[in-house]
Every structure is written in C-alpha cells, then in structure tokens.
Amino acid sequence: MKNVLLLLAIIHYGYSSKILGIFPAPSRSHYILGSALMKGLAEKGHDVTVISAYGEKQPPKTKGAYRDIVVTELQNSIQEMFKEQKMGMQDRQNLNPFFSVVFAGHMLPKIMEKVLSNEQVQQLIHSEEKFDAVIVEQFLNDGQKALATHFGAPLIVLSTIGGNFWVNTLVGNPAPPAYVPAMNLGYTVPMTFRERLVNTLLTALYEVYYHVHVYPSENARIKKYIPNGPDISDVLYNVSIVLMNSHPSTNQPVPYVPNMIDIAGFHIKAPKKLPQDLQEFLDSAKDGVIYFSMGSNLKSADFLPEQRDAVLKTFSKLKEKVLWKWEDDVLPGQPKNVKLSKWLPQQDILAHPNVKLFITHGGFLSTSETIYHGVPVLAIPIVGDQKLNAKTAVDNGFGLALSYDELTEEKFAQSVHEILTNSKYRTNAKKRSELFHDRLVGPMDTAIYWIEYAIRHKGAPHLRVAAVDLPWYQYHLLDVMGFLVLVSLSFVVVSYYVVKVVCKKLYSKPKTNKVKKH
C-alpha cells in the first residue's frame, strides 16, 4: 500500500501539462508579466508555448520545455499608432478617456489580425497539437480566446492590469459605477457626483461600443482564420479562471467572483547581484540614491526641453546621487551626481537599501515593485492606469504625484525635497510592503495552483456565477423594478378612482335632496 502511495506521489509530482500562452499586447511591460507566468510554469515542469510580440533572447533553461512563437509584425504597433495620430507624450497624457476606449477598441481587431495571420501561428492552428490549458492575456486580446476552444482546452485569463471592464464582463463580476472607478479615469473613491456620472457614461460607452463594433469585427476574424471557429459569444464567457495582477495592498479593494484570483507580485524575483559598476555606485552613495525611470514604453529622452531642464536643475542641486534610465547616448548638461544608463535592473536596484526615492511614470509593474521593496515614489503619470496608480500612492501616503504639464523646477524640486526629508513616506511605503508580503501562499505558487486546478478539473464551471448567463435587463433587475413601478402605479390609479367615486357619492347626496325639495 505504502509503495502504491509513493508511486502515485511520484507520478503526480512529475505530472506535466502542455500549456499555450497568448500575450500579443505590443507592450514590453505586458510581455514581462506574461512570460514570467509561463517561465514559472516551465520551471514547475510543464511544457509551454508562448505566442507574443517579443520572445526571449535566449530560451530559458527550465525543467519543462519553453517554446516561443514570435509575431514580429506586432512590435512597435502601439508606437506606430501614436505616431500615425501624431501624439507626443503631452497629447498622450491629455488623452480623453472616452477617446481612449474607442482607440483601444480600434486596435483590438488589428492586433488580432496580425496574430492569427502569422505564419507560425497558422501552422500551429493547422497542426494536430492539443493543449491542456490556454492562457490569454486580457488586454487588447479578445478574439484569441477562440484558440482555447480550437485546442480543446480550458480557458484561463491573465489580467495584467487588475480589475477593469474587460475582465469583469467575462465572468459577471459586479463593478457598480457608484464605487468602482473605470481603470483609465484615474479616480479614487469616494467619487464626486461628476466623477460618478462620467464613470457611468464611460461604462455604458464600453458596453455599447464593444457589442456594436469590436466583438462583431473580432468574430469575423475568428471565422476567417480558425477552421470551424466558434462564435465569439460562446468563447468570451467561457473563462475558467481569471488571474488578476492586483492585490488589496496595491489596488482599491473591490468585489471579485470566486474564479478571480489575486496574484500581483508573481513576476517579482528575489534580488540578484547587481553589475559591479551599479553595485559600487549604490554602495558608495552615503546620502542615498534617487532612481528615475519612465518605464519601458515611455522614454525620458522624449521629455520636452523645459521639463528636462526642471529635472536637471533639481538634480544638480542635490547631495543625493541619481540613477537615471536615459535612452540617448548623451544628456546635455549632465550633472556630476547623475549616472545614466539605457537599461537598468529595476527590481535589484529597488532592493538596495540606499535607494531613497523612485521617480516613476507610475505603471503597475513599477508600482508593485516599489511596494514590494518599500520605496516611496514621485509619480509623473502619462497614460492608462498610471494616473490611478499615482493617486493610490498619494492616498496611501507613500508618494506624491506631479502632472507632466506642471513639471516646473519649483514644483519638482519641492516634491523631491518633501519625500526625501519627511519620513512619513518611507514609513507608509514599508507598511504597504508588509501588507504586500502578508499572504498565505506566494503569488506565483497561487497562480500555478489555479492553472493546474483548471487542468485537473477540465475547466471550472462550478465557479461560474449565474450573472454571466442573464440577459442585461434581468441582471439590472429592470423587469422587477418595472413590475414594482407598475404595481405602485396601479395602486395609485385605483386609489384615485376609488376616492373619486366615494367623493362623488358623498357630494351628490345634498344635490338629490335639493331636487326632492322642488
């Protein structure tokens, strides 16, 4: 008996599944998250295939096989779109949220076209291969879910940007506009009347625009590129598990249905050794270091001269050292205490005890990494969820935010000085960090557990809430409210007539008396 158990344990331990990951968003930060998840699975012993815009420079050495399918056509497509629309950093920052809904919706079918028409992807589709699970990133990526149906595998969704309209609708997650702000509005709770109004209208725009334009045009592409392709309406709402790149320590708390699982921080690794020049630079900074990076999509080299001067003048007057991710070869007027580099190992830098402040665009990766290491931030948010992350940092007391427009030397210097000298920011950052780390199971293990769970049970229909199958008027209880209004109205009308008839009777008596007198 013992031997049988041991054998079962060994078989179970060595159990390896075939998993397909689809992460075509043409944005490095999204790719970093998708590939981190797939590497985690491959390290556990699963055979993974990854469709993306970038791929790995060198295939990672993992226990299971790691195969890349790179759709090179996707690279730079966001930058091209911005260029097409002639949008610089300033315009992107002032992007109207209603326009951005339409802009993203406009990109979706284009990205889908590039992915599905890719030669290698077509080969995979027409091969006899099967998968045990298909993981799709929920960002500019709807129709690709049909590949889960095609490969006969449970569908798992990774939301790299936490909760939002796109994932909530898939699994019937309640997101009342009264207190759940749309991701790209940059609102925090409690919302003012105006904010709630805008939030409601934006949610309505999403609903209408996606159903009228986006889903139908994606559906046409499913039929075009996938043999016997399913209907998009059968695919969208068939999600087994949603892995959410969020956590109450980094996001506003909101409701989640049972198949939504928080895994923020899953991409963060234990600190590695720094390259020698950086190690020396950081070790020798006895007054501390400011780390400055605008992320992988935005470039601080794109700053306008005024903004750049404001930053340079401020840095040149500091006793602290500055490590600046700068993408050009030269920086005119580079101060002595500033070190430049085109690429920097961000996580390992934030782990260094001498780093006192992180000046960031406030992207979610940067925000969660800074919370992980307990480093306060000065955020200069530009697009997407960055404003929201910045505001959350301000509300939680571990940072300040400046809009790109108001980036004057005075304001910039004042904010930097405030964070460096007021210890409350560091204390609050450490507090957030403690909340971030305080979990039953680490985020990568949580993610792998739930993916294997979906594989073991061949999907997870038992976690699905009934909201997904309700028509919209039933979901919003419009029929019940309509019924109640009707009943109340009938009651009022009936009462009115009853009172009228009774009154008539009462008043008509003296009249008849009068008649009798004649």
Ligand X SMILES: *[C@@H]1O[C@H](CO)[C@@H](O)[C@H](O)[C@H]1NC(C)=O
- Give the torsion sign (CA, 21, 25, 27, 30): negative
Contact pattern from residue 426 through residue 465 relative to ligand X, giving x for each residue in contact according to CB under 6 A and a dash for the rest: --------------------------------xx------
What single-letter amino acid sits at 451?
A: I
Binding positions for ligand X, 257-296, rule CB under 6 A: none
Query: What's the half-sphere exposure (Cβ side, CA atoms, 13 Å) at 19?
Result: 33
Kindly state the smallest distance separating residue 154's Cβ from ligand X, in Å. Answer: 4
Q: 111 vs 73, 122, 123, 238, 334, CA distance in Å?
A: 9, 15, 18, 22, 40
Pick from 426, 94, 499, 35: nearest CA to 267 = 35
Do residues 266 and 252 touch, judged by C-beta distance below 8 A? Answer: no
CB 67 within 8 A of CB 44: no
Query: What CA–CA distance (Å, rounded) separates 419 from 357?
Result: 7
**Residues between 74 and 103 with contacts to ligand X, criterion CB under 6 A:** none
Question: What is the footprint of ligand X within residues 217-256 (CB under 6 A)?
Answer: 230, 234-235, 238, 240
Closer CB to ligand X, 148 or 355, in the complex:
148
In angstroms, give the least distance from the CB of 287 to ligand X. Answer: 57
Of the pair 234, 418, the CB lying nearest ligand X is at: 234
Nearer to ligand X, 171 or 393 (CB): 171
SS3 of residue 374 by DSSP: coil
Cβ 223 to ligand X shortest distance, Å: 14
Helices 386-395 + 364-373 axis angle, to 10: 30
How many residues belong to the site for ligand X (CB under 6 A)? 9
Q: Tell me, what DSSP letter sits at residue 275?
A: P
CA angle centred on 22, ends 173 and 383, rounded to 5°: 65
Residues 395, 189: contact at Cβ < 8 Å? no
Q: How far is the CB of 454 from ligand X (least distance, A)?
A: 8
**Which residues in 135-154 contact ligand X (CB under 6 A)?**
149, 154
CB of 420 to ligand X, least distance (A): 52
Q: Give yes or no for a contact between 340 and 331, defined as CB atoms under 8 angstroms apart.
A: yes
Nearer CB in complex with ligand X: 17/386 = 17
Give CA torsion, residues 24, 28, 30, 31, to 10 deg: 60
Q: Please identify, using beta-carbon distances, which residue of 38 and 222 lies nearer to ligand X.
A: 222
Tell me the closest approach of the beta carbon of residue 408 to ligand X, in angstroms: 54
Query: Closest approach of Cβ 145 to ligand X, in Å?
Result: 8
Report if residue 60 touches ligand X, rule: CB under 6 A. no
Which residue's CB is nearer to ligand X, number 235 or number 311?
A: 235
CA–CA separation, 136 and 153 (whole Å): 12
Closer Cβ to ligand X, 229 or 384, answer by number: 229
Which residues are at the interface with ligand X (CB under 6 A)? 149, 154, 230, 234-235, 238, 240, 458-459
